Amino acid sequence: MSKHIAIYISNKENKVQLIKRITAGELIPELVTLKGSIFSEITLNRFIEEEMRHGRFDVKTQTNNSLKNSSEGERKRALLNHILTESNPDYIILDNAFDCLDINAQKQIKTRLEELSCTTSIVQITTRKRDILPFIDDVFTLETGVFKAFKSHGDLVESSKNYFIEALPKPLILNLNVFNPLISLKNVTIKYGDRPILNSINWDIKPGEFWQLIGPNGSGKSTILTLVSGDNPKGYQQDMTLFGIKKGSGETVWDIKKNIGFYSSEMLRGFKRKDTLESMIISGFLDSIGLYKYPTDRQISIAHQWLKLLNMYHIKDKSFQFLSSGHKRLILLARAMVKHPPLLILDEPINGLDDHDTKMFSELVNKIAKESKTAIIYVSHRKEEHIKPDFIFELTPGKKGSTGKINNSFSIN
Ligand SMILES: Nc1ncnc2c1ncn2[C@@H]1O[C@H](COP(=O)(O)OP(=O)(O)OP(=O)(O)O)[C@@H](O)[C@H]1O
Strands (DSSP E) found in 163-312: 183-192, 195-205, 210-214, 239-242, 245-246, 260-264
User: In the predicted model, what is the mean pLDDT of residues 151-170?
Assistant: 72
Contacts of 173 (CB under 8 A, 6+ apart): none
Q: Cα(118) to centroid of ligand 1, in Å?
A: 34
Q: What is the pLDDT of residue 409?
A: 53
Grade residue 288 by pLDDT with cuts at 50, 70 and 90: low
> What is the identity of the amino acid at 21?
R
Asked if residue 412 has pLDDT above 50, the reply is no
Mean residue pLDDT of the chain comes to 88
Ligand 1 pocket mutation, candidates 61, 222, 231, 394, criterion most atoms within 8 A of CB: 222
Q: Cα(68) to centroid of ligand 1, in Å?
A: 10
Instruction: Say if ligand 1 is within 6 A of residue 61 CB.
Output: no
Instruction: Say if ligand 1 is within 6 A of residue 215 CB.
Output: yes
Q: What is the pLDDT of residue 413?
A: 47
Query: CA quadruple 67, 71, 72, 73: dihedral positive or negative?
Result: negative
Instruction: Say if ligand 1 is within 6 A of residue 380 CB.
Output: no
Grade residue 177 by pLDDT with cuts at 50, 70 and 90: low
Rounded to an integer, what distance in angstroms lies between the CA atom of residue 109 and that of residue 53? 30
User: Predicted ipTM?
Assistant: 0.97
User: In the predicted model, what is the mean pLDDT of residues 230-238?
Assistant: 91
The residue whose C-alpha atom lies closest to atom 1 belonging to ligand 1 is: 69
Helical segments of 126-275, H only: 221-228, 253-257, 267-270
Asked if residue 333 has pLDDT above 80, the reply is yes
Return the percentage of the chain with pLDDT > 90, whole number. 49
- 46-103: pLDDT as tens digits: 899 899 888 888 888 888 889 988 888 888 889 988 988 887 899 999 998 888 888 8
pLDDT, greater one: 57 or 401: 401
Instruction: Say if ligand 1 is within 6 A of residue 69 CB.
Output: yes
Query: Residue 392: which H helix or E strand, with range?
Result: strand 391-396
Asked if residue 147 has pLDDT above 80, the reply is yes
Asked if residue 222 has pLDDT above 80, the reply is yes
Q: What is the pLDDT of residue 245?
A: 93
Instruction: Say if ligand 1 is within 6 A of residue 401 CB.
Output: no
- 251-281: pLDDT as tens digits: 888 889 999 999 987 777 666 667 899 999 9
Rounded to an integer, what distance in angstroms lies between the CA atom of residue 399 and that of residue 332? 38
Grade residue 1 by pLDDT with cuts at 50, 70 and 90: low
Contacts of 4 (CB under 8 A, 6+ apart): 117, 121, 122, 123, 124, 133, 135, 136, 137, 138
Q: Cα(397) to centroid of ligand 1, in Å?
A: 12
Nearest in space to 368 (alpha carbons), one of 160, 164, 221: 164
Q: Name the strands in the sheet holding 138-143, side by side, starting at the edge strand that comes first in the sequence.
A: 36-39, 91-95, 121-126, 5-8, 138-143, 146-149
Ligand 1 pocket mutation, candidates 192, 201, 226, criterion most atoms within 8 A of CB: 192
Grade residue 303 by pLDDT with cuts at 50, 70 and 90: very high
